[in-house]
Amino acid sequence: MKERLFISSIILIGWIILIVISPWLPLNPNTIVLSKILAAPSAEAWLGFDDLGRPVWDRLAVGAKTSGIVSVMVVSISLILGTLIGTLSAWWGGWSERLIVHFMDVLLAFPGILLAIALAGMLGPGIDNVVMALCVTGWIGFARLARAQTLSLKERDHVRSAKALGAGQIRIIFRHIIPLLIAPMVIEATFGVASVVIAEAGLSFLGLGVQPPTASWGSMLRDGTSYMLVAPHLVIAPGLVLMAVVLSVNLFGDSLRDYLDVKMK
């Protein structure tokens, strides 16, 4: 487990560092050099040039920032919204809980990525609309987890004691229930990051995400598919980076879950 956590942490730290320092790096992701069209990797450009003569490494670095911004925004909004909806519905119960549960069941009846594609198609391309489309489906997993945890926690002795001492419902929820949800919700958030990175790349691949000339790993894969035989580096580079980031996030989430699981200890 330690080796898996170490490797995944190194890749994730590298991804985060690249996102943070990319504005200060001498990158030229949109500079077109006609003489370098489809040029193979060399000392001048580690990962070669694309079909317009733009450096692939520079576009990969900008794409890392794009995927990072989208994943942080979507997971943060979904985490807050899903936690509040799931916790409050389980606490209040009654018709409001049944209504929310049925609404989540209706949304779950549609594949998440297809619903996101439909919403992105209606809203139009762009990073803001991608975030909105992914948030519509992203909060459901957090809400279901928060509801299940709250149904168990609200019967605990410390919650009953708080009720007996006259504590208000809002105080009980935010002081005695939500703090105990942090660990499972953080673990769920790590898996959510991986799902959002894949979803953003998929929407950009279909032309519904970040629009040119802004770089995205999904759009780089789309542009490179037409030149796989003559310039395979256009697909290999963003594909390997996307796989490494998603795999590392999932491995980090698995390791974090095992570390926080009392039964494993």
pLDDT tens-digit series, residues 209-258? 888 888 889 999 998 988 888 889 899 999 999 999 999 998 888 887 77
Task: Look at residue 106 and tell me if it is in a domain.
Answer: yes
pLDDT at 154 over 90: no
pLDDT at 207 over 90: no
CATH of the domain at 232: 1.10.3720.10
Query: In total, how many domains does the chain have?
Result: 1
Question: Could you tell me which of 254, 264, 97, 122 has the C-alpha nearest to residue 188?
Answer: 254
Task: Look at residue 37 and tell me if it is in a domain.
Answer: no
Q: State pTM to two decimals.
A: 0.87
Task: Look at residue 59 and tell me if it is in a domain.
Answer: yes
Residue 152: domain span: 2-16+51-260
Question: What six digits make up the tokens of 256?
Answer: 């974090």
